[in-house]
Amino acid sequence: MDKYDVLRRPVITEKTDMLAERHNQFVFEVARHANKVQVRHAVEEIFKVKVVDVRTTVMPGKSRRWGRHLSRTPAWKKAIVTLVPGDRIDLFE
């Protein structure tokens, strides 16, 4: 799997901004079948930083309603990546 297929997009919210400032952690949406080792290598190669820890979780889809029809958004996987103190990813600033 290519490193650009592993990382889908950064997750930018108020909570992820706080994680980046206080704990040097950055959040990405990743491929559902990507594991922690693949996420670590992708972040290190793309952003040229050193990764200390990777935590992953599958976020369940939410129920949505369009008129009388009920559907569900797809589930997605997110990874919280902790970097070595002093390393930063400029994409989030």
Per the listing, tokens 């972040």 go with 43
Predicted pLDDT of residue 67: 94
Could you read off the pLDDT of 49-74 as tens digits, one per residue? 999 999 999 999 999 999 999 999 99
CA distance 32 to 59: 10
Q: Is the pLDDT of residue 15 over 70?
A: yes
Q: Residue 1's pLDDT band (boundaries 50, 70, 90)? A: confident
Could you read off the pLDDT of 28-45 as tens digits, one per residue? 999 999 999 999 999 999
Per the listing, tokens 């290190």 go with 44
Domain spans in the chain, listed from the N-terminal domain onward:
3-85
Predicted pLDDT of residue 47: 95
Pick the CATH number of 3-85 from 1.10.357.10, 3.30.70.330, 3.40.50.300, 3.20.20.105: 3.30.70.330
Q: Residue 91's pLDDT band (boundaries 50, 70, 90)? A: confident
